[in-house]
Amino acid sequence: IDHKLLKRVPHDQVDNIEKQVKSKLREVEYDINALIKSYKEVKGARQEAFANELTPELISRYGRKTHLPGNVIFKIISCSLENMSN
């Protein structure tokens, strides 16, 4: 951050920037919380799917449990959360 440049910026512009940053932060926090909620819901559905035996129809359609849609979605969300924490 260039502090000399920031000292030259008029206060009304700094206040506006602060409001924009706070607004964006709230938006990001909301999205993170929504992603975490989705992760928990999908994780529960995934655990339930893995606890049940595959029917012949599901075996012919997906091949194995790791290819079930719930597992694929879980993995996508998991990777997204891991990337956000890095």
pLDDT in tens, 10-58: 887 777 788 888 999 999 999 989 988 888 888 888 888 788 888 889 8
Instruction: Tell me the one-letter amino acid at 49.
Output: A
84 pLDDT above the threshold of 80: no
Token reading at 2: 């260039």
DSSP 3-state assignment of 35?
Answer: helix
User: pTM for this one?
Assistant: 0.58
Question: What CA–CA distances, in Å, run from 3 to 11, 14, 50?
Answer: 14, 12, 55
Based on the number of CB atoms within 10 Å of its own CB, is 15 exposed (0-12), middle (13-18) or buried (19 or more)?
exposed
2 pLDDT above the threshold of 90: no
